Structure 1
C-alpha cells in the first residue's frame, strides 16, 4: 500500500473549476509581469554590453597601429568586466522582487497540484459531486440492489438529463461492486458526463504549474546569463501538450 504523507496536503483549498480558473488567471498575470520584469533586466544588461562594446571599439580605433593589439585586449576585457558588474548589480537589486513573484507563482502551482491530485480522472471528479448530500445518499440506497438493466437505464437518464448527482450515485454504487459484477465501467460514464470539464480543468491546473516552472527557468537564465536549451525545449513541449489538451492553438499560461 502506498504511503501518503498527509502533512504535504494543503488545507483550505476549494475544489472546483472556478478555483482552477482563478489560479489560472492569477498565475498568468504574475507570470506575465515576471516575464516583463526579467526581459527589462536583460535588455538593460544587453544595452550596457552594447555601449561598453562601442566604447571599446572607439578606444581601439583611437590607438596607434603599434598599440592596437594591446588596446584591443585591454578594451575587450574592460568592457566585459563592466557588463558583468552591471549584471551582478541588477541581479542583486532585483532579487527581492523576483523572489516575491516566484513565491507567489509557487503557491499557485502548489495549490493547482493539490487540486489535480484529487481530480485524477473524470471518474474521481464525478465521484465528488454532491458528497454528503441527502439526495445522493438516497439515490445510492435505491440503487444498491439494482440489476444491470436498471443501472444502465439510470445511467442513460443521468446523461440525457445532465443529472450529476444521479451520475455520482451510480458511479459510487458500481465502484463498490466486484469488477466481475459491474455492468459497465464507471470511467466510461464519467467520461461521457464530465470528460470535457475534466480535460479543461486539468489543462488549466497544468498551465498554472507550467507558469511557475517557466518563470523559474527564465530567472535562472537571467542570473546565469545563458539559456538552458534542454529545459526550454521541455517547457515548450509541455506548453504544446497543454494547449492541445485544452483545444487551444496557443496562449498564455
Structure 2
C-alpha cells in the first residue's frame, strides 16, 4: 500500500525568492497544502506562497482556536491549543494513510519557534515526517539593517517578549547581541526592559522583515503597538581583526 508523508516546509522570512530551491519545488508540486492561520485571516504563510500553488492543490487552513484573546498563563490556553494540535494530527495522519503527501507551510524555519513543531512531536512515530529548513525571520531582520548581528566572540541571545519583565531585563543586560521575537502587544514591557538594561540607544525594531512594508525604526521612536511579525535587535560589537 502506498504511504504518504508530512513535509514541513520552511518558507523563509517572507519573500518568495528567499526560499530554498527544494522548498519552491515541493510547494509548486504539492496537491495537499496545510497552513496555520488566525480565524478570519488569510494567514501569513498562505500570503507568502500566493501564485505558487498548483491549480489542483487542496488547501487545509488550520485555524487557531485562540491567539491573544486569553493569557498564555490561563490553563484554558494550553488546553485549547493542545486539542487543536491533536485534532490536526489526526486529520493529517488520515491523509497520509490514504497515500497523500501533505506539505505544511511554515514561516521562517519549521524548527525555530514555529507551530509545526507541535505537530511534528505528535506525528513522529505515526507517519513519515520530513522537514525542509528555511531562513529564519531573525536572519532576514538583521540583514535588513545592513549590519552584522555578531562579531568575534559575541554571544547572541534569542528571547521572547512574552517573558516576564525582570527576566527580559536580565537577558538584555547580560548578552552581547540580542534578538527579541513575538513582540506585538508586549512592546511597552520590552521598551521598559531595554531601558532598565541601559541599552536604549542600541536597540532597533524591524517590522515585516523581507516582506512588503518592511520598516526599520530605532526603538526609542517606535509606536506603542507593533505587528506580531516584528523583531527587536541589538547588534554585537565584539572582537574584529
TM-score by length of 2: 0.23
Structure with higher Rg: it is: 1
| Greater length-normalized contact order (CA 8 Å, ≥ 6 residues apart) | 1
Question: As a proportion of its length, which structure holds more strand?
Answer: 2
Length-normalised TM-score, structure 1: 0.22
**Bigger helix share:** 1
